[in-house]
Structure 1
Amino acid sequence: MNASVRELMTLFDLEQLENNLFRGQSQANGQQSVFGGLVAGQALLAASKTVPTDRSVHSLHAYFLRAGDFTKPIVYDVDRIRDGRSFTTRRVNAIQHGRPIFSLAASYQVEEEGVAHQVPMPEVAGPEGLENDEAARQKLVARLPEQYREAFLQDRPVEFRPVTPRDPISSQPEPPLREVWFKVVDSVDADPMTQRALLAYCSDFGLMGTAMLPHGMNFWQPHVQCASIDHAMWFHGDFRIDEWLLYRSESPFAGGSRGMNFGSIYRQDGTLVASVAQEGLMRLHRSDSPAA
């Protein structure tokens, strides 16, 4: 198995401390805090481990409360709120240094038949032949501040291929729309519960940046402060995280130092498998302020 994928799967091998307590390891990925997608994915997996196997997660709603410490493990405290005939509800607090850094609520349902419809997948070029993110990063690294370069070039367990390549360092305003193919770069032999936790992990990559596009903002600008505020997902169908998925995201609004983003995730055959929503902090500081 690819080394970066092996490390990713180790992060999603939670240690059970008690009936409702789990511990997951952190990881440094070039940010000053734990990657939000990792906390979301681990929290969802912790909740799922307390749910009967005849029902699967259909939605999650979460808030990022504090920056996580990537040098320390994270404890997940699961509250078994309700076990009904059809639906199960769980609440999870992610804890570091005695304080919650993240809070998640998730709902599970037994499989049922019903009417169905979906918005068609947009007509875009397939992933084959598109430039992968590793090649793009090699072209861009020399333009980054030196302190970011090593993390920017490190091997990643998830490959991204944008339908329309963009310069992520550019300050040129662009429409608030992204379409990116992605998948884990090696075979993942995991149950559907873990597959959905891994999708929650992947769903946080690049989503908040969609709202930044019309304003010429990027994560490396010293006067820009960015952070995820909340995150919601709805799971519609099965998929494999090691097969190509299309992530289409758009931002209908930004204001009050916050940007709103919505995303749709499709299998390559056009099946809509998940919907995502996230609001993020997009704060501009004066170039001479302490925060900058």
Structure 2
Amino acid sequence: MNESLKELLDLLDLEQIELDIFRGRSPEERIQRVFGGQVAAQALVAAGRTVPSGRDVHSLHAYFIRPGDPSIPIVYNVERVRDGRSFTTRRVVAVQHGKAIFTMSASFHAPEPGVEHQAAVRPVVPDPETLPTFQDRMHELVGDDPQWKDWLSKPRPVDARYASPLTFEALKDPGLRSPETNVWFRCDAELPDDPLLHVVLAAYASDFTLVDTILLAHGLSWGASNIMGASLDHAMWFHRPFRADDWLLYAQESPWSGGARGLARGQMFTASGDLVVSVVQEAMIREIQR
């Protein structure tokens, strides 16, 4: 297990400071704001720790309200909205500087039998082992450019393999501009069997590339275009058990953008084709006037 994954698992092991109150921290990096996937993952951990055993999260709905400050801890307040016979509902508010920066409602469900179908089909893409890592792919594009060198050299907790163009490639080639992207990802180490941990790690990873589908349609790229962006809200549905240390294909698309906002949605499939997670996110995309 690389040090970056160890650090992420440590970040997700929240400190309980009072009944239904937890405290999380951010990585020691020079970043302006907390990564949204981190806040969502930590909030889900906080909610899950107040839920009776045997109930798995099946959905979450979250709003990003203010940028998180990575230099101070985040306090997560959990409200026990309902404990029913089959479903448990929790509401989480993340607080910094005395103000809410993030809210989430999460629902947990005790397993029970029911009718089953799956209309979604996993896209046909190359196997992940045949694809270069994200770092290797970017290195081919930027070479030894000092602007990117330090960022690309950092170890990452999640191994991502793109089966479609990067935004940086679409920036240079208009023929690659399409509001769709397919990314294989996994945590590259064997993880404990705790189902909540695998769901939390998928929530963490879900925020990495989803907004890129909006940028791809317009030939825009983070760090190379005059844009700023931020997640506004985020919703996930967890359909069946899966493991975050096995390869998952994240098929993503953006059906619309306008008015400084864009909508993106994604589906996570196992390598065998089972649909395990559905995701929808709206993001702010603004052009910066210089």
Q: TM-score, normalised by structure 2?
A: 0.94
- Indicate the larger mover: 245-254 or 167-176: 167-176
Query: In the alignment, residue 105 of structure 1 is paired with which amino acid?
Result: S
Query: In the alignment, residue 54 of structure 1 is paired with which amino acid?
Result: G
Q: Does 1:38 align with 2:46?
A: no
Residues 63 and 104, structure 1, Cα contact 8 Å, conserved in 2? yes
Q: Distance in 1 between matches of 2:247 and 2:50?
A: 29
- Which secondary structure state, in structure 2, belongs to the residue aligned with residue 215 of structure 1? coil
Partner of 1:74: 74
Residues 135 and 152, structure 2, Cα contact 8 Å, conserved in 1? no
- Indicate the larger mover: 215-224 or 66-75: 215-224
Residues 214 and 263, structure 2, Cα contact 8 Å, conserved in 1? yes
- Which secondary structure state, in structure 2, belongs to the residue aligned with residue 249 of structure 1? strand
Q: Distance in 2 between matches of 1:152 and 1:30?
A: 15
Partner of 2:19: 19
Residue segments in structure 2 that go unaligned for 5+ positions in a row: none
Q: Distance in 2 between matches of 1:250 and 1:29?
A: 30
Residues 141 and 152, structure 1, Cα contact 8 Å, conserved in 2? no
1:12-56 superposed Cα distances (whole Å, 9 cap, x missing partner): 111111110011111256642100000000001100100011211
The structural deviation recorded for 1:116 is: 0.9
Residue segments in structure 1 that go unaligned for 5+ positions in a row: none
Q: What is the 5 A alignment of 1:274-289?
A: 274-286=277-289, 288=290
Alpha carbons of structure 1 residues 215 and 145: separation in structure 2 relative to 1, 3 Å: farther
Query: In the alignment, residue 121 of structure 1 is paired with which amino acid?
Result: R
Residues 60 and 235, structure 2, Cα contact 8 Å, conserved in 1? yes
Partner of 1:251: 254
Residues 183 and 244, structure 1, Cα contact 8 Å, conserved in 2? yes
Q: Does 1:136 align with 2:154?
A: no
Q: Does 1:176 align with 2:163?
A: no
- Which secondary structure state, in structure 1, belongs to the residue aligned with residue 243 of structure 2? coil
1:228 to 224, 228, 231: 231
Aligned pairs, how many? 286
The structural deviation recorded for 1:85 is: 1.0
Partner of 1:203: 206
The structural deviation recorded for 1:132 is: 1.1
Q: Does 1:262 align with 2:271?
A: no
Q: Distance in 2 between matches of 1:143 and 1:254?
A: 34
Q: Distance in 1 between matches of 2:15 and 2:169?
A: 39
- Which secondary structure state, in structure 2, belongs to the residue aligned with residue 124 of structure 1? coil
RMSD: 1.7
Partner of 1:188: 191
Alpha carbons of structure 1 residues 123 and 29: separation in structure 2 relative to 1, 3 Å: farther
- Indicate the larger mover: 102-111 or 190-199: 190-199
- Identity, % of aligned positions: 47
The structural deviation recorded for 1:151 is: 2.6
- Which secondary structure state, in structure 1, belongs to the residue aligned with residue 246 of structure 2? coil
The structural deviation recorded for 1:169 is: 5.7
Query: In the alignment, residue 127 of structure 1 is paired with which amino acid?
Result: P
Partner of 2:215: 212
- Which secondary structure state, in structure 2, belongs to the residue aligned with residue 42 of structure 1? helix
1:44-94 superposed Cα distances (whole Å, 9 cap, x missing partner): 110010001121110000000111111111110000011111111100011
Query: In the alignment, residue 103 of structure 1 is paired with which amino acid?
Result: T
Query: In the alignment, residue 251 of structure 1 is paired with which amino acid?
Result: S
Residues 77 and 92, structure 1, Cα contact 8 Å, conserved in 2? yes
Query: In the alignment, residue 272 of structure 2 is paired with which amino acid?
Result: D
- Which secondary structure state, in structure 1, belongs to the residue aligned with residue 132 of structure 2? coil
Query: In the alignment, residue 66 of structure 1 is paired with which amino acid?
Result: R
Residues 138 and 153, structure 1, Cα contact 8 Å, conserved in 2? no
Residues 64 and 102, structure 2, Cα contact 8 Å, conserved in 1? yes
Q: Distance in 2 between matches of 1:29 and 1:231?
A: 24
Residues 265 and 272, structure 1, Cα contact 8 Å, conserved in 2? yes
Which portions of structure 1, spanning 4 or more consecutive aligned residues, are displaced by more than 3 angstroms?
A: 28-31, 140-145
Alpha carbons of structure 1 residues 167 and 254: separation in structure 2 relative to 1, 3 Å: closer
Query: In the alignment, residue 274 of structure 1 is paired with which amino acid?
Result: V
Q: Distance in 1 between matches of 2:83 and 2:213?
A: 37
